[in-house]
Structure 1
Amino acid sequence: MTSAETVFFTGGAGFIGLHVVPMLLEKGYKVRIFDNMFRGDRDAVAAFGDDVELIDQDVRYGGAVHAAMKGCSKVIHAAAVSINKSQSDPYESMDINMIGNHNVFAAAADHGVQRLVYCSSASVYGDPERLPMHEDDRLDPQTPYCISKRAGEDLLGFYQRRSGLSWIALRFFNVYGPGQKTTAYYTSVINHFVNRLKNGEPPVIDGKGEQSMDFIHVHDIARSIALALDCEQDNVPVNVGTGIDTSIKDLAEILINAVGADVAPIFNPRDVLVSRRAADVQRAKEVLGFEASIEVRKGMTDLVNAD
């Protein structure tokens, strides 16, 4: 690979992107970030140096996407409206996530890029029928965000059949880590617990705390993206998780220990929908050579201590 090979990275100035870019530079790539900077960090991008270019533009504008992608050999598409914002404003979500998906995929097909890595989501499954959740399980997306992620995977299949586009769709589970906005959907429970604990208050858990998530550290998410750019197999969705579901009750205990608080959680007795999540991680091993490296207890403890 020559040092001139450039990765086109939509949303690359955001939370996940800023963890991926150093790995791409380490591999010898140059990076062209395409980001509307609504949630991007301009100073962090500038600190990467001359091998990282920033185009301050929006994926809704197909002409801008097409022009900016010229000369890039690979694409990472991460730009999207978040899951909670998609419910409060479905119009913007459809505009950015659906139209944006299509603009990026169509441009990649036109330019003949070697590989497109799409940041999809485990939310395409909806409430799972079984654990662990496998890539071939029934999909039942529930919000505009989740629906757009599933549609994005279908669109990739169209451009694969029509134009030979090579793609990998990474279905991220519950991402957390340093640098994440406190409004992030999947970390709201973490932030709520930590804020209460630091104020000397016990975390409040609805029901028995049996709801669970597969929390995966952003460093591992970034590794999966870097691996997907270069893996041999293509044209498949791949779960990116730890394979372990951490209940809300266990999460509270981990964070109590991390903060060093002398409290016990308070359980709010009411009926809650007990939803559980855990990734089947076999395909990630086979296709990407990926396994999560940061155990949840360590990752959460480091996150608390970094504040």
Structure 2
Amino acid sequence: MRILDNRYRCDPKAAAALAALDGVEVVEGDVRYANAVEGAMRGVEAVVHLAAVCLNKSISDPTESLDVNLLGTQNVLDAAARGGVRRVIHASSASIYGNATSLPTHEDTPPSPLTPYCTAKLAGEHLLSFYAKRSKLSWLALRFFNVYGPGQQTDAYYTSVVLTFLRRLAAGEAPVIDGRGEQSMDFVHVTDIARAVGMALDSTASGMALNVGTGCQTTIADLAAHLIRALGMDVQPIFRPREVLVTRRAADIGRIRETLGWEPTIGLEEGLASVIEHLKVTGELN
């Protein structure tokens, strides 16, 4: 196994642990540089493409977002096609739906991307189809919903709200919620995400996008209340008047269930407990 990473969001300890495993090679490089991607792709049978700049940053810096998320993806797929890679699993996103008109949201729902990040993720799916028609490349695009879990970074509010809230609570501060907290997310644990990626790699299905979520909505206000109870704290969330980007999110997971046999196995309560335990072990939460 070979991992290409620019170490921008890398946990040095996690990277060192991976590099120490038998059969694992960690290469420092960036998907924006075609030569680095081509070198990392040499002799590879299958690729899992996870590199991206987060949604929030794409709003403040669209140029960098498109450079990484779109041109970087093009570099990955071009190298894969020319190098004879058999299969690519592409990390797409539920954000391509924008404010979905129906819940739970099916893969056939017309996309309505709201940011450069979302636009690039959708374009990546179209690039997969383009390269597959010109090579023997098979592929699946996994549209991740709101991923959370131990070890998550906090540089993107909408994808790390769990950790953002917990770190405020650990500091004795109340969670800050945009709007009235009625916006909902479909939280899916990173363990279930990893399992979906593995099953996608092993599958023979090709040429389609699959939602990866739970189908369950959790409002941000309910999330904050759950975490406050879990830590036994006596605080109330702070609500700040602010427009929210997406108001509702829940995945229709019928297609991935039928195609891969995948279903989520970790409920929200168990998943949040795993994050809390990790923060306690690392000393970030007492």
Cα 1:267–1:139 change in 2 (3 A) is: same
Could you tell which deviates more after superposition, 174-183 or 203-212? Answer: 203-212
Distance in 2, Cα, partners of 1:140 & 1:134: 13
Quote the residue 2:128 is aligned against: 156
Unaligned runs of 5+ in 2: 280-286
Deviations 1:15-60 (A, max 9, x none): xxxxxxxxxxxxxxxx111111112234423323231111211111
Question: Are the equivalent residues in 2 in contact too, given 1:255–1:301 (CA < 8 A)?
Answer: no
Equivalent in 225, 230, 234 of residue 197 of structure 2? 225
Equivalent in 192, 207, 217 of residue 245 of structure 1? 217
Equivalent in 279, 296, 299 of residue 251 of structure 2? 279
Cα 1:142–1:50 change in 2 (3 A) is: same
Could you tell which deviates more after superposition, 238-247 or 252-261? Answer: 252-261
Question: Are the equivalent residues in 2 in contact too, given 1:175–1:186 (CA < 8 A)?
Answer: no
Equivalent in 55, 60, 66 of residue 38 of structure 2? 66
Question: Are the equivalent residues in 1 in contact too, given 2:151–2:278 (CA < 8 A)?
Answer: no
Distance in 2, Cα, partners of 1:41 & 1:204: 26
Quote the residue 1:89 is aligned against: 61
Equivalent in 25, 28, 34 of residue 4 of structure 2? 34
Distance in 1, Cα, partners of 2:277 & 2:181: 24
Alignment size in residue pairs: 277
Is 1:132 aligned to residue 104 of structure 2? yes
Is 1:182 aligned to residue 154 of structure 2? yes
Distance in 2, Cα, partners of 1:93 & 1:55: 22
Displacement after TM superposition at 1:81 (Å): 1.2
Question: Are the equivalent residues in 2 in contact too, given 1:210–1:247 (CA < 8 A)?
Answer: yes
Displacement after TM superposition at 1:205 (Å): 3.8
Unaligned runs of 5+ in 1: 1-30
Is 1:255 aligned to residue 227 of structure 2? yes
Question: Are the equivalent residues in 1 in contact too, given 2:5–2:26 (CA < 8 A)?
Answer: yes
Cα 1:273–1:230 change in 2 (3 A) is: closer
1:222 is aligned with what amino acid?
A
Equivalent in 43, 51, 61 of residue 79 of structure 1? 51
Displacement after TM superposition at 1:143 (Å): 1.0
RMSD: 2.0
Cα 1:207–1:139 change in 2 (3 A) is: same
Quote the residue 1:45 is aligned against: 15
Could you tell which deviates more after superposition, 179-188 or 131-140? Answer: 179-188
Could you tell which deviates more after superposition, 123-132 or 86-95? Answer: 86-95
Identity among equivalent positions (%) equals: 56
Displacement after TM superposition at 1:194 (Å): 2.4
1:258 is aligned with what amino acid?
A
Equivalent in 143, 147, 162 of residue 115 of structure 2? 143
Cα 1:194–1:166 change in 2 (3 A) is: same
1:36 is aligned with what amino acid?
N
2:151 is aligned with what amino acid?
G
Three-state SS of the structure 1 residue aligned to 2:134 is helix
Quote the residue 2:87 is aligned against: 115
Distance in 1, Cα, partners of 2:263 & 2:73: 27
Distance in 2, Cα, partners of 1:35 & 1:206: 33
Quote the residue 1:289 is aligned against: 261
Cα 1:254–1:61 change in 2 (3 A) is: same
Three-state SS of the structure 2 residue aligned to 1:210 is coil
Quote the residue 1:302 is aligned against: 274
Quote the residue 1:193 is aligned against: 165
Distance in 2, Cα, partners of 1:254 & 1:45: 32
Deviations 1:181-226 (A, max 9, x none): 1223324533443244334444344444221000111111111111
Distance in 1, Cα, partners of 2:241 & 2:122: 35
Displacement after TM superposition at 1:274 (Å): 6.9
Q: TM-score, normalised by structure 2?
A: 0.89
Cα 1:163–1:180 change in 2 (3 A) is: same
Distance in 1, Cα, partners of 2:44 & 2:68: 22
Displacement after TM superposition at 1:90 (Å): 1.3
Distance in 1, Cα, partners of 2:245 & 2:228: 24
Cα 1:43–1:251 change in 2 (3 A) is: closer
2:230 is aligned with what amino acid?
A
Cα 1:187–1:111 change in 2 (3 A) is: closer
1:171 is aligned with what amino acid?
R
